Structure 1
Amino acid sequence: MTEFRALSGAVTTWAAPVQPRRMKLSWTSMEKDDALFLDRLARRNIRGPLIVMDPTSANLLDDAAATADASGPANTWAVSAGGLAVNSATRQWEFTSPSGDAVVGWRRTSWGPGQNYFTAPGMRLSLAAPVAFPETTITMFTWRALDGRVLSQSRAVGKLLSAVAPDGAHSVTLACAPGPGTFSLAGACLAVDEDAVAGDPGDGCPAMSITDYSISPVRGPGRARDISLSLVEVANSAVQ
């Protein structure tokens, strides 16, 4: 928000149409290998902006996936059978499932087409099915390696699934099988390190660039470092 004051004393305010997210991260006494990895990121050995999965976000799904609003794209989801359509009364996307094994999955619409969300071994993810899905819904994670191979699957009967990514996991496919019927897709939630809560607003996984970086040695034996990063959400990022 920017404030302008006229000579008469009247005040006018102006707000940008987009308010980018900003984030500051810091670590103390970080071990050498982890410190070197962050150092490479900050020094732009990896080109372009970074995909940030903020563990403090209530919902890592994009807003369109969380609300199922009619203004969102249909390719937010993928279905194995049945179809997707907008309900003219609620203005929400709905999934029509013809059978008990028909599946709807959430696609990663940011960062190009793809049906997988990024993860890492040991990361605890939790998926809450859309509010309208029945309690008999089968909720699923399909864990995949870097080359896309399926490593394993976690599933639960119910609208909430929490599971830990296995060794070698690079991405995960999110899916639910609600059984036959037509159901609104609103209210789905994906969270890290806590149980997902259906209906939480979607924060997404934004593109962010590192704008400030500092590293300092820690007194004592070893090669531990204190590191801090500042990041800002970007629409694009030019790299020289």
Structure 2
Amino acid sequence: MSMWIGHPGALREIRDGAASFDRTPDLEVVEFRSLAGAVTTWAPPVRPRRLKLSWEAMERGDVDHLDRLARRVDAPGPVAVLDPLSRNVLTADQGAGLGAAAGKWSWNTAELGLYGGQFGAYLANSVSVDSVPVDGAALYWDHPVWPGFPVAAGVPFTWWVPGLRAAGAALRALRIDWHDASGAYLSGNSTTNVTRPMVATPHSRAVYARPSVRFAATGLWQLGASVLAVGDASAALAAGEIPAGEGCPPYSVTSYSHAATPGDGRYRDLSLELTEVVA
């Protein structure tokens, strides 16, 4: 699968496979040793990733695009990346249904609520549906920074909620809404066949995707796992695979270099490093 990189709304497909790809998080774990020799550790609550990429003999069109990103010609940032190794663009805790709801889920408080996760980052959430309007009670999965999850033109997304399915939740529909750069609603795709993952292609002017479910009846169910995947991952998900959330964070370009490819100056050998940021 290709990689898409750029500012939201202007993602470019990079067809050349990267010669190297490293997406290691900065753990920054600190060890403390007592006089008796016992060891304790401390880890920061946020562990940003550094995405290190390099290409050989890259086409000039792709080089020009990455060069403009690195030099911040069109915008200061941040940069979005849809990379081929991410099988679930939800955050890790969001994909597992854990922790406080702020920045991860939203809903109409007159219809439902999430409970449990507010008491600890590693505690599971349950969804309590108290009132069901005609079109179903809606629960949305939110991106922590942008109005939704960045999309690329013509690239489908797969949406699935195996946790709610396993809990026996009364689901009316799976849905993905498409939004423009300002966050304004454009259109949506939905299916009432909740027994299989949903696959949908973005609206032609979409910049962000916002997945959700609609509940058909009142009740209380554990939220559990959920998956939003780039491309058509329906077969693997239907077969029982539940990839952990890896996120689709905003990045800042922090290192960049390029040089003419030896023996052919029409192409460039290029390296790029991006660091996960909060805005």
TM norm structure 2 = 0.65
Match of 2:214 among 177, 191, 201: 177
Unaligned segments of structure 1, at least 5 residues = none
Q: 1:94 to 1:30 in 2, by over 3 A?
A: same
What's the secondary structure of 2:62's corresponding residue? helix
Tell me what 2:273 maps to: 230
CA contact (8 A) 2:97 2:223 kept: yes
CA contact (8 A) 2:157 2:230 kept: yes
Tell me what 2:161 maps to: 129
Match of 2:254 among 176, 201, 211: 211
Give the Cα separation in 1 of the matches to 2:204 and 2:212.
21
CA contact (8 A) 2:103 2:142 kept: no
Instruction: Confirm or deny that 1:167 pairs with 2:204.
Output: yes
CA contact (8 A) 1:186 1:199 kept: no
Give the structure, 1 or 2, with the largest relative contact order (CA under 8 Å, sep 6 or more). 1
Aligned residues: 229
CA contact (8 A) 1:64 1:76 kept: no
Give the Cα separation in 2 of the matches to 1:152 and 1:63.
25
Superposed CA offset, 1:15-50 (max 9, x none): 642543222223344443332121111123332543
Instruction: Confirm or deny that 1:101 pairs with 2:135.
Output: yes
Tell me what 1:58 maps to: 87
What's the secondary structure of 1:131's corresponding residue? helix
Structure 1 residue 13 displacement after superposition: 8.1
Structure 1 residue 130 displacement after superposition: 4.6
Could you list the runs of 4 or more consecutive aligned residues of structure 1 that deviate by over 4 angstroms after TM superposition? 1-5, 10-16, 134-137, 196-199, 218-221
Instruction: Confirm or deny that 1:23 pairs with 2:61.
Output: no
What's the secondary structure of 1:157's corresponding residue? coil
When the two chains are superposed, the root-mean-square deviation of aligned CA atoms in Å is 3.7
Structure 1 residue 118 displacement after superposition: 1.5
Which has the larger displacement, 121-130 or 192-201? Answer: 192-201
Match of 1:142 among 152, 171, 177: 177
What's the secondary structure of 1:186's corresponding residue? coil
Give the Cα separation in 1 of the matches to 2:41 and 2:178.
46
1:57 corresponds to which letter in structure 2?
A: S
Give the Cα separation in 1 of the matches to 2:188 and 2:100.
34
Structure 1 residue 226 displacement after superposition: 3.4
CA contact (8 A) 2:140 2:211 kept: yes
Give the Cα separation in 2 of the matches to 1:135 and 1:78.
16
CA contact (8 A) 1:144 1:150 kept: yes
Give the Cα separation in 1 of the matches to 2:149 and 2:52.
23
Give the Cα separation in 2 of the matches to 1:174 and 1:165.
12
Give the Cα separation in 2 of the matches to 1:235 and 1:146.
18
Give the Cα separation in 2 of the matches to 1:170 and 1:187.
25
CA contact (8 A) 2:173 2:215 kept: yes
Give the Cα separation in 2 of the matches to 1:80 and 1:120.
32
Q: 1:168 to 1:213 in 2, by over 3 A?
A: same
1:92 corresponds to which letter in structure 2?
A: N
CA contact (8 A) 2:98 2:125 kept: yes
What's the secondary structure of 1:126's corresponding residue? strand
Match of 2:228 among 185, 190, 195: 190
Structure 1 residue 187 displacement after superposition: 0.9
